Structure 1
């Protein structure tokens, strides 16, 4: 598998994870009882962004 294809696949996974975290954050803020879900989702969203940036920088 070419390196470019593997890089694109990895970024697709990171983007999918970011979308999931964003949906969970919105759901947590909409449903008051799930505020803890929003907090966890926001923390995981930020961690995924940082991880993606580090992976992107190391492959280029």
Structure 2
């Protein structure tokens, strides 16, 4: 599970960088940031749930 979260975070980070680098696809950068934050939050919640 942790590997999947790390892979998704890397993918969203790459999409964000590409989206912000190319002005025509700025929307891709915004979506990448939103997905990065959502994945990080979900991963953090699941990690804390396993500890409890």
Count of equivalent residues: 51
Which structure: larger Rg?
Answer: 1
- Structure 2 gaps of 5+ residues are none
**Which stretches of structure 1, 4 residues or more, deviate above 6 A after TM superposition?**
none
How far apart are residue 55 of structure 1 and its match? 0.4
Pairing partner for 2:10 from 7, 19, 30: 19
How far apart are residue 28 of structure 1 and its match? 0.2
How far apart are residue 51 of structure 1 and its match? 0.2
- Structure 1 gaps of 5+ residues are 1-9
How far apart are residue 58 of structure 1 and its match? 0.5
TM norm structure 1: 0.83
TM norm structure 2: 0.96
